Amino acid sequence: MKPQSIFLLVAACGLTPIALSYGVSPAVSIRYLFDVDATPTNVAHIFRAIMGLYMALALFWLLGAFTKKYKLHALYSLVIFMLGLAVGRVGSLIIDGIPHWLLVVYLFLELGFGIVGIKMIKQESREIR
């Protein structure tokens, strides 16, 4: 299996528990993880929508890991997703201050996956030519 496929698999497997923690039972998990009240319907709805987005991307990354036709597209979506989240988090650090420690860990993971993803795109692009 190529490094790009392994990378997509790792990202999909890593994102799945985060997605599930956001959406399966947000009133319980979000309170436990971040001490945020997710019992109002609108808050639970937002977290479940986030879970759906995360799961859809994880599934697309799995498709890219196993299907050459979609690999480069999956890598691009991974980089956009990870670096988009990281930019939002950096903006929040500047505007709002330091969040829960787990969210800071997520920031570093997102930056790392985004940067490695760019490297994987370059490798995949060279192999396609």
Residue linked to tokens 């795109």: 121
pTM above 0.75, yes or no: yes
Residues 64 and 74 sit within 8 Å (Cβ to Cβ): yes
Residue 129 has pLDDT above 90, yes or no: no
What DSSP designation does 25 have? S
Residue 116 has pLDDT above 90, yes or no: yes
pLDDT per residue as tens digits for the range 30-82 = 999 999 999 999 999 999 999 999 999 999 999 999 999 999 999 999 999 99
